[in-house]
């Protein structure tokens, strides 16, 4: 009988969107329980969240250093197994580093760090620690995205030629950061968000998704970044020509001023023999195209999907026709992360299906991508190698 | 600080679809934990599920009688608070009744009972017990369904005139019950399913959804039931004319032989001033129509939705544009059920938002509906009053 | 070199929607020209339309009798070949009858007549005349509807079991006939429309479409008709259980009070092996379902469509991906009608593809359908044989 | 009573797709008739088409020079009014020029010429001739595109910020030009197509659509062009960053190797207050977005559309809910062109609604666009001013 992993959270205080998603996702499959946390820099709020989560007060901490120190000396069957990092971007790196060095596994929100140098350093820390490191690039967690990757790998689309990825939101169309909107404030502040605004917040998701599905990496980019809202210090919109390994060409664009769009993420991939199309708004369907044939709508949970992709089958929870969503995608990463931790604990090598969650290399690529996009845009939109 | 409710399951053994959904849904919000169970009539399988759930062996029982007896004498801070009934249909009534009479709250899968008489009796048991009884008609758990109900209530559609509800599946298009498919076997067996096949399994969901949204009850039906697959004893397809309170007219149809449909549930409601349309396949959108205006697509999680419907706002977990699904709908019923139990425990009256989950009256209406549809179909499709 | 047919119109004066559609459709393929007309009972308006159409004044008549009499004595290479009847319903029969008896072919708007008796009589007139008679049931004119019919015929769906047809509009949700809206006035007046309101106007289209695609006739119906708008003498909404030849069961419903719907016509057909789904709003796509396979979207104009259905191929004008619409569907009937007339003129037997347009038998079935639906509804919704 | 214009065609022989579309579109509204033609460089084929069109043999010519010479000396009430040019690209310029200089109005397929210099020259010819010149950029002919333009102009979207235009096809995914496919052969041949392949054939449509709707011109581009199919001399795929007047930023991409796409043209426009989205595959709907409100689906032919845009109202033929398509969009250009010619003939100034069809300036912009995109791509994707 496998045991439940104990999770310690940093971030995720009252009102934090992504922290609550991490908790629900971690809890979903009964493999993980929230056991401790430093939920907010305000200790009152941190305690408030601890109470809401029915944690023992002794396991609710004022900051992450306290948590790591205190948990490290608890008995093995009580102390947390891993740390979940869901703070603003500038805290990801120091917390993840400290947690790994204290001996805990880490699941970290993206972007992984503020700079490429930190990302490189974190990789060394991960390797030295021997611990499991997960990065929450959500979208590869969707079953139909896993199916898409497998269809590409199996050659159903032929040789891949063309990719388009679009991730558009509209919530920053006005200068809401000036009205004290918390999410907007830190996301438009270079000190907390890093060099990229929109491109860092959602452009990296788009780039990561393209690389995940095609199995090819972005090699060159030529970008145009915009700050449409007056006085905004970071980009809130951007368009980017892409060149990828294996001769793939394409476009990635993202925006946070696309009025009334919510989280409109879509990808189109075309090969010599077929294509796929996936839209987060309808995540249970994958559009599959083949030369000379009718367009097909593949449905999550169907036998023909499950027979075609073990990863899709394994990451589905409910039957075809009943929609799954964002939480399940998130939970798939936590579930694979937990399986990997438990396998390692048991001295077994985790299999490829368990290891199917984003990690430190995705984090480095994300940081490089942000840096190069910003550099290309500043340089007057030259092509730049990644 | 509110405590977690402890749930004892009957049913939900290895491989049971709906039992696992109940567990995930109950767990989602951190208000409920699985504390005990009689998961399968085969004690080996029941233990296996107990281990998978990391339950203490002493809390895994061979049958529901054992569970009720043993749990009843545990200390108050250990014993289960409520029983979740997820067995085949014919066991719903005796288990629910016994659990209520032993002093436990009950969350029960639908259909509530096998006959109208049992349903009536259960109502008396619920009333006598003073316990909370929930019935898992999933679809009113969706936020956009709650919005639809509120729009109707607020008069945005004017006086309701017309309703169409369609629930079609294709999984019983062949005689798979003869190949030992477990789900198919009991659903096509009158002894385990009751008088209705398709109409009992999914037609009741459709009828319940129509009544929930319109706030009007079905008063007369005229039905045609079919058993397309040779040798099948129960209907696998049916069409039904509807008359409802307040002069509403409409159609309900359901099928389990609609090849390649999965859980295609849709509802259209039209009033004198506007209409709505909802499709389970895209549950985060509600189509809203108004006379002389463009059709609108309302998006779950948006401010304009949340401002319009407290019930929709309260039952959403993640921001607009990230899809929620079936599990969250399920979880909304568990969440409201738990809030109601805790309110009662605290001696407070649960408010209307907490009480927004299906109960024993919905169960009676469902049983009457099944019985009358079958009667109408057998009689040569006469109109019958409910 | 084939000659252009000369068309004489009755109806289609200034402001008449359907008359103008007939003209555009007739003109589209260059096989037909408008040569004469009695466009309006008001001779001023009739002349006005004649001028707009650039007709010689001598060919614009005050009424249909004049037109038939005058045209009949023109030289063969001048006089009209056929009469297009696009008046209110009550005039269809006398005009069609007179035109046939005078020796002209006829293309007639639906419904063909006001009563079943007239319909039967017209059939005799058609047979006696030896002339070609077309009835404008538009929807079988769409290429993807023709494909659907061919897929059924070829057995791709297996044995057909289930049909649902929905045709909903909202334009009669208010009593606009009291405000002098011309279209509404005659359609809600039993003297001009016949026994059926909504069921006659659009329900017959729905029924005709179901019979066309399945190749099976409706044999029994059980109907509920409603007049939601106070004071309206004819039904404005109706629901109908269907039994068809070959064991097919289903539902047809139609409404003109479905607020904000325009011409929302959809059909779903399910067989033992597959299904199809077609929506007039997206007429260039046919949804094709097969047991155990992904849903397919077949695209008008594609090679795989054209290879599968000669009728679909022949009735497409532009390449896949460029949308065709309602006018082309209309024009397909005119085109086949013209080919049939010309083949007969040449002493050749028109082939099956040419003959693929609705005729007098469809008209009789439509009239019987309307009559029986009204009878069933009045009788208290009993099943009635057609 | 207005007279019908007489059209003389160059191109549009047997099997030519676009020529036949021109004929049907010209014919649709009864304002134009095909009166003469030089349909094919093969005189046998030209005659064959003349017969099919029921033209007098004397009006069917062996080449355009013959046609212009012969028609010029016919009596005014017989000779053609304008020439429709539907040949391969390399013939557009000389034919249009000759026709204008002979005294005929011209409707020309796009691209207008092979080079920018020719385009400039043609503008002078048009101006000198005083004749009406139309260029067949189809997509501004759609009513909902006209509505989009009007919504932008009326400020409903606020200040425009962002545009994305996508036009993807898949028909050139294989080297079909080597198998003698006629359409593919000339489109992939620089001598017949010009400097741009895909970007010339469909990229110009996309660029033109963006400029039409926003009312702003493209000022800078940075492009990446690809020839994915081995041995192909022209681009078959391209991606392009855009800068437009008034601070608009965006992306245009086009492809002819996007397997199984047909004519998938879409545009998204975002302003400070709202956005629109239009897809040629569903041309009768315009998606309209407003900050803080539900997404709206505006329907062609509705009162609220017609009240909002005279251009949309005027270019709709049939009621809402019955789909219009590509032919009608084409026909709208012919109809406005004809109205303009007739107004000029009558000595009246054509109004803005009549003049709403693409002309010689659109042609110049298209040629500049192609040239600059090719130049940018060849230069290593630098930004280039238009």
Structural domains counted in chain B: 2
The average pLDDT across C39-57 equals: 92
Does B27 contact A at CB distance below 8 Å?
A: yes
Give all chains having 3 or more CB-to-CB distances under 8 Å with chain C.
Answer: A, B, D
Asked if the structure places residue C343 within a domain, the reply is no
Under-50 pLDDT residues of chain B: none
Q: Contact B296/D294, CB-based, under 8 Å?
A: yes
Q: Which residue has the tokens 């369904």?
A: B145
Measured in angstroms, the CA of A79 and the nearest CA of chain B are apart by 18
Distance between CA atoms of residues C302 and D95, nearest Å:
33
CATH of the domain at C174: 3.30.360.10
Q: Which residue of A has its CA nearest to B285?
A: A281
D247 φψ region: left (φ > 0), alpha (ψ -120 to 50), beta (else): left
What is the β-pairing status of strands D160-168 and D133-136? unpaired
Residues of chain D positioned with their CB less than 8 A from the CB of A173: 272, 291
What pLDDT was estimated at residue B266? Answer: 98
B251 touches chain C (CB under 8 A): yes
- Provide the pLDDT for residue A182: 78
Question: What is the rounded CA–CA span in Å between residue A289 and residue C296?
Answer: 10
Residue A353 located in a structural domain = no
For chain A (386 residues), the mean pLDDT of every run of 10, in chain order, is 88 90 93 95 93 92 96 96 94 97 97 94 98 97 98 98 98 92 84 89 96 97 95 96 97 98 97 98 98 97 97 96 97 98 95 97 95 91 82
Which of C136, C161, C190 marks a domain boundary? C136
Q: What are phi and psi of C191, to 5 degrees?
A: -70, -30
SS3 label, residue D15: coil
User: Does C293 lie in the same domain as C151?
Assistant: yes
pLDDT at residue number B185: 86
Residue B297, chain D, CB below 8 Å: the answer is yes
Establish if D291 touches chain B: CB-CB under 8 angstroms: no
On whether any CB of chain D is under 8 Å from the CB of B290, the answer is no
Of A66, A101, A136, the last residue of a domain is A136
CA distance B284 to B322: 9
The C-alpha atoms of residue B60 and residue B12 are separated, in whole angstroms, by: 12
Cβ of A241 and D239 within 8 Å? yes
Minimum-distance CB partner of B3 among A54, A264, A326: A54
A295 → closest Cβ in C292, C297, C303: C297
Are A259 and D173 in contact (CB < 8 Å)? no
Alpha-carbon distance of D193 to D137, in angstroms, equals 16
Q: What is the ipTM of this complex?
A: 0.94
| Token digits of residue A105 | 């596994």
Cβ atoms of residues C54 and C24 within 8 Å:
no
Please identify among residues 302-321 of chain D the ones whose CB lies closer than 8 Å to any CB of chain B. 302-304
The residue whose two tokens read 């259905």 is: C309
Domain extent for B245 = 142-321+366-378
Per DSSP, helices labelled H in chain B are 17-28, 43-52, 64-72, 92-102, 116-129, 143-153, 182-187, 190-193, 198, 204-214, 303-306, 310-314, 326-345, 360-378
Record the tokens describing residue A241, joined without a space: 């020509």
Residues sharing a CB contact under 8 Å with residue C302, sequence separation 6 or more, in sequence order: A294, C320, D262
Say if B339 falls within a structural domain.
no
* Residue in this structure with the two tokens 């009878």, named with its chain if needed: C375
Q: What is the CATH number of the domain that holds C66?
A: 3.40.50.720
pLDDT value at residue C298: 98
**Cα–Cα distance measured from residue A96 to residue A91, given in angstroms and rounded to the nearest whole number:** 8
Q: Determine, yes or no, domain membership for B343.
A: no
CB contact under 8 A, A293 and C299: no
- Shared-domain flag, residues A96 and A128: yes
Same domain, A235 and A372: yes
Query: Quick one: which H or E segment has residue B227?
Result: none
Average pLDDT over residues C91-106: 97
**Contacting residues for D179 by C-beta, under 8 A, at least 6 apart:** none
Q: Interface partners of A (3+ CB pairs, < 8 Å)?
A: B, C, D
Whether D236 and D283 map to the same domain: the answer is: yes
CB A154 within 8 Å of CB A273? no
What's the pLDDT at A381?
65
- Short-list D142, D154, D210, D204, CA closest to D356: D142
Do B292 and B154 reside in the same domain of the chain?
Answer: yes
Are residues D294 and B294, on separate chains, in Cβ contact within 8 Å?
no
Whether omega for the bond prior to residue D111 falls within 30 degrees of 0, making it cis, is yes
Write down which chains contact chain B via at least 3 CB pairs under 8 A. A, C, D
A252 min Cα distance to partner chain C (Å): 25
- Collect all residues with Cβ–Cβ distance below 8 Å to B130 and sequence separation of at least 6: none
What average pLDDT does chain C have? Answer: 95
The reply to whether A354 falls in a domain is: no
Nearest CA in chain C to B161: C228
Q: For residue A373, what are its two tokens?
A: 């996009």
* Bridge partners, B288 (sequence order): B276, B296
Q: How many CB pairs under 8 A join C and D?
A: 124
What does the pLDDT read at residue B166?
Answer: 98
What are the backbone dihedrals phi and psi of residue A260, each rounded to the nearest 5 degrees, phi first? Answer: 75, 0
Dihedral angle sign, alpha carbons of residues D203, D181, D327, D277:
negative
Distance CA A14, CA D295 (A): 31
- State the SS3 of A238-303: EEEEEEEHHHCEEEEEEECCCCCCCCEEEEEEEECCEEEEEECCCCCEEEEEECCCCEEEEECCCH
Answer whether the bond into residue A111 is a cis peptide, omega within 30°. yes
Same structural domain, B65 and B146: no
Does any CB of chain B come closer than 8 Å to the CB of residue C68?
A: no
Query: Is A327's CB within 8 Å of B326's CB?
Result: no
In this structure, are D223 and D124 located in the same domain?
Answer: no
Task: Tell me, yes or no, whether B119 and B172 share the same domain.
Answer: no
Q: How many CB atoms lie within 10 A of CB D264?
A: 18
For residues D247 and D158, state if they share a domain: yes
B79, part of any domain = yes
Contact A325 B320 (CB under 8 A): no
CA distance D316 to A104: 67
What confidence score (pLDDT) does residue D3 get? 84
pLDDT at position A115, please?
Answer: 92
Of B136, B154, B186, the last residue of a domain is B136
- C290 contact residues in B (CB cutoff 8 A): 259-260
Tell whether the model's pLDDT for residue D2 goes beyond 80.
Answer: no
So what's the pLDDT on residue B381? 65
**Quick one: A66 and A198 in the same domain?**
no
State mean pLDDT over D55-76.
96
Is A318 within 8 Å of B21 when comparing Cβ atoms? Answer: yes
In terms of Cα–Cα distance, which of A83, A86, A119, A91 is closest to A366? Answer: A119
What is the structure's pLDDT at A194? 84
* CB C27 within 8 Å of CB C35: no
**Between β-strands C105-109 and C218-226, what pairing exists: parallel, antiparallel or unpaired?**
unpaired
- For A139-169, the pLDDT digits (tens) are 999 999 999 999 999 999 999 999 999 999 9
Residues C231-240: what's their mean pLDDT? 96
Q: In what order do the strands lie in the sheet with B5-11?
A: B32-38, B5-11, B82-86, B105-109, B133-136
Asked if residue C330 is part of any domain, the answer here is no
Query: Are D100 and D150 found together in one domain?
Result: no
How far is Cα B344 from Cα A247, in angstroms, rounded to an integer? Answer: 65
Name C152's Cβ contacts closer than 8 Å, sequence gap at least 6.
Answer: C160, C213, C214, C215, C269, C271, C276
> Among B215, B30, B279, D223, which residue's Cα sits nearest to residue A34?
B30
Nearest CA among A142, A303, A318 for reference residue B326: A318
C-alpha torsion D135→D138→D141→D147, nearest 10: -120
In a domain, residue A348? The reply is no
Three-state secondary structure call for residue C135: strand
Determine the residue among A286, A289, A295, A298 to mutate to test chain C binding: the one whose Cβ has the most chain C Cβ atoms within 10 Å.
A295
C-alpha distances (whole Å) from D149 to each of A226, B134, C27, D127, D308 are: 24, 54, 31, 27, 11
D322 pLDDT above the threshold of 80:
yes
Distance CA C241, CA C219 (A): 11
| Domain identity same for B132 and B151 | no
- C257 near B161, Cβ under 8 Å? yes
Question: Would you place residue C381 in the very low, low, confident or very high pLDDT band (cuts 50, 70, 90)?
Answer: low
Evaluate if residue D195 carries a pLDDT over 90.
no
Q: What is the pLDDT of residue D381?
A: 65
Token pair recorded at residue A340: 């990997």
State the best of D141, D315, D316, D323 to mutate against chain C, taking most chain C CBs within 10 Å.
D323
The residue among B49, B278, B281, B323 with the most chain A CBs within 10 A of its CB, best to mutate, is B323
Helix ranges (DSSP H) in chain A: 17-28, 43-52, 64-72, 92-102, 116-129, 143-153, 182-187, 190-193, 198, 204-214, 303-306, 310-314, 326-345, 360-378
Touching D: which chains, 3+ CB pairs < 8 A? A, B, C
């Amino acid at each position: 009988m496998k045991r439940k992993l104990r999770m310690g959270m940093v971030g995720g205080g009252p009102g934090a969107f992504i922290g609550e998603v991490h908790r629900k996702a971690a809890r979903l499959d009964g493999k993980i329980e929230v056991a401790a946390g430093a939920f907010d820099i305000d200790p009152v709020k941190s305690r408030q969240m601890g109470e809401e989560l029915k944690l023992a007060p002794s396991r609710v901490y004022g900051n992450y250093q306290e948590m790591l120190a205190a948990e490290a000396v608890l008995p093995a069957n009580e102390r947390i197994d891993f740390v979940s990092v869901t703070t603003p971007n500038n805290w990801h790196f120091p917390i993840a580093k400290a947690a790994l060095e204290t001996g805990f596994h880490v699941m970290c929100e993206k972007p992984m760090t503020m700079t490429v140098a930190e990302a490189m350093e974190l990789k060394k820390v991960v390797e030295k620690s021997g611990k499991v490191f997960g990065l929450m690039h959500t979208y590869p967690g969707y079953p139909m995205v896993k199916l898409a990757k497998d269809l590409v790998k199996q050659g159903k689309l032929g040789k891949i030629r063309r990719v388009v990825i679009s991730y558009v939101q509209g919530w920053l169309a006005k200068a809401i950061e000036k009205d004290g909107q918390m999410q907007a404030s830190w996301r438009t502040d270079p000190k907390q968000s890093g060099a990229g605004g929109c491109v860092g917040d959602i452009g990296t998701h788009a780039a990561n998704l393209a690389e995940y599905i095609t199995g090819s990496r972005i090699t060159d980019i030529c970008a145009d970044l915009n700050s449409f809202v007056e006085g905004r210090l970071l980009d809130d919109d951007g368009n980017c020509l892409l060149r990828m390994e294996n001769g793939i060409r394409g476009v990635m664009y993202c925006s946070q001023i696309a009025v009334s769009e919510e989280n409109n993420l879509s990808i189109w991939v075309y090969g010599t023999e077929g294509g796929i199309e996936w839209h987060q708004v309808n995540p249970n369907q994958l559009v599959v195209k083949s030369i000379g044939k009718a367009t097909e709508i593949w449905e999550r949970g169907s036998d023909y999907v499950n027979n075609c992709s073990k990863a899709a089958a394994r990451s589905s929870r409910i039957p075809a026709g009943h929609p799954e969503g964002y939480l399940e995608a998130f939970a798939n990463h936590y579930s694979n992360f937990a399986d990997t931790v438990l396998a390692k604990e048991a001295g077994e090598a985790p299999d490829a299906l368990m290891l199917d969650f984003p990690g430190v290399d995705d984090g480095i690529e994300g940081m490089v991508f942000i840096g190069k996009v910003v550099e290309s845009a500043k340089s007057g939109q030259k092509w730049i190698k990644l």
